[in-house]
Amino acid sequence: MAKIIVNQSKINNIEEVLGICPFGALEEVDGKVEINAACKMCKMCVKKGPEGAFEFEEDEVIAINKDEWRGVTVYVEHSDGEIHPVTYELIGKAKELASKINHPVYCVFVGNNIKNKCKPLLSYGVDEVFVYDDEELDKFRIEPYAAAVEDYISKIKPTIMLFGGTTIGRSLAPRLAARFRTGLTADCTILDIQENTDLDQIRPAFGGNIMAHINTPNHRPQFATVRYKIFSAPQKVENPTGKVTLCEIEKDKLQSKIKVLQTKIKNKVVGIEDAEVVVVVSRAFKKQEDIKMAEKLAELLGGQLAGTRPTIEASWIDPRRQIGLSGRTVKPKLIITCGVSGAVQFVAGMKGSDYIVAINQDENAPIFDVAHLALIGDIYEIIPMLIENIENMKKNQKAEAEFALS
């Protein structure tokens, strides 16, 4: 690991030196300057400090034989064999990446009584599904699941491992990355690949204000997690040619200190990621009580209410309903934005929607650049009009239906 060495003999004025670091990582301990855990490796001390006082020492880079690592693998997230939709989205991206470097697409499927549930994966054009089917893998427990995927990686050596940005994916991926002493990029929004198989991983940073471009050029495999609804699932293939391979692993590797005593089925709540209609509120609403009219609009359309980051920070909307790079990503059939200006961070979280209706009184608002329908005007006038029109339309439909039955 790279480090900064402090040469105490080159420091004459300690107080002056302590003020160099913008992160407060330099401190005086027993008359000596030391670097604490706040260090960001910005090397400001090397550049601005007394000559020779701070030296940046980089580790020797050991070149890896990238030809030994082949294939793009998707970890199959599931619940008792029911595959999570994020898996299919990752397969779509894996196929895109693999096609650029002429690599196969693999899936690693871990669980109990799952070997007969691979057909949906093959139907999306996966080349091979590696299955770890064992009674010790009946319910997700981090130790045996990590052991199974570790065994797969050691044997197959895929160059890329993709996980869903879910509770399980975020638990499993970092543990495996640590075991292989390689990098992990969480919540990627863009993935691309170079000819030498280096994965370009792009994700929001600093609250979505910048986009970080991350590479892992000297280690394999390359790990990344991706949130649900970021990518699109591929089209199914007519004549799948992929195969299923059953994998064996020593029983002692599946031991766990965790015992599942009982499981309870949680009532499924339709989140904004799964909603077909989403109505988005913003700080254009003068007070929290006014959001009720947006709630009513969403209810009439059978949709969900969501918000921008300022409405979350104001505690007007549940944080789980935030749309944007620092929130959730949605792809509804219809999204109606109410007073949303259209900041880049927000648009990135909803631009995949089938139909975008934007309401804003500023005709130059950036949201109109991505909207399919622009309603220029005051939300306090337009939303009530929409509600009235929808209610009248439903009344007419009901009357027509009753007339047809009479």
Rounded Cα distance, 2 and 7, in Å: 16
Whole-number pLDDT of residue 100: 97
Mean pLDDT of the chain: 92
Rounded Cα distance, 150 and 403, in Å: 65
Residue 120 phi/psi, 5° resolution? -60, -35
Take residue 405 and report the two structure tokens written for it: 């039955």
| pLDDT tens per residue, range 103-152 | 999 999 999 999 999 999 999 999 999 999 999 999 899 999 999 999 99
Whole-model pTM: value is 0.80
| pLDDT tens per residue, range 365-391 | 999 999 999 999 999 999 999 999 999
pLDDT average, residue stretch 89-105: 97
Residue position matching structure tokens 């280690």: 219
If one compares 227 and 210, the residue with the highest pLDDT of the two is: 227
Whole-number pLDDT of residue 406: 66
Cross-strand bridge partners of residue 328: 323
Write the CA distances from 85 to 88, 92, 116, 128, 335, integer angstroms: 5, 11, 18, 19, 21
- pLDDT level of residue 1 (50, 70, 90 thresholds): low
pLDDT average, residue stretch 341-352: 89
Res. 207: pLDDT tops 70? no
Asked if residue 179 lies in contact with residue 150, where contact means CB atoms within 8 angstroms, the answer is yes
Whole-number pLDDT of residue 211: 83
Cross-strand bridge partners of residue 204: 211
Res. 362: pLDDT tops 90? yes
Asked if residue 338 lies in contact with residue 292, where contact means CB atoms within 8 angstroms, the answer is no
If one compares 406 and 72, the residue with the highest pLDDT of the two is: 72
Write the CA distances from 383 to 94, 292, 337, 360, integer angstroms: 42, 11, 11, 11
- pLDDT level of residue 263 (50, 70, 90 thresholds): confident
Range in 139-148, 173-182, 219-228, 325-334 with the lowest mean pLDDT = 325-334
Res. 268: pLDDT tops 70? no
| pLDDT tens per residue, range 29-59 | 999 999 999 998 899 999 999 999 999 988 7
DSSP string, 308-331: -HHHHHTTSS-GGGBBSTTSB---
Take residue 276 and report the two structure tokens written for it: 């077909």
Whole-number pLDDT of residue 210: 78
The pairs formed by 21-30 with CB atoms below 8 angstroms and a separation of 24 or more are 21/45
Asked if residue 156 lies in contact with residue 128, where contact means CB atoms within 8 angstroms, the answer is no
Rounded Cα distance, 132 and 113, in Å: 10
The pairs formed by 92-99 with CB atoms below 8 angstroms and a separation of 24 or more are 92/124, 92/231, 92/232, 92/233, 92/234, 93/162, 93/191, 93/226, 93/231, 94/160, 94/162, 95/124, 95/125, 95/234, 97/72, 97/160, 97/191, 97/192, 97/193, 97/199, 98/71, 98/72
| pLDDT tens per residue, range 174-190 | 999 999 999 999 999 89
pLDDT average, residue stretch 257-284: 86
pLDDT average, residue stretch 210-220: 91
Take residue 144 and report the two structure tokens written for it: 């045996």
- pLDDT level of residue 315 (50, 70, 90 thresholds): very high
Longest dimension (CA), the chain: 99
HSE value, Cβ hemisphere, 13 Å, CA-based, for 233: 14
Take residue 152 and report the two structure tokens written for it: 């797969």
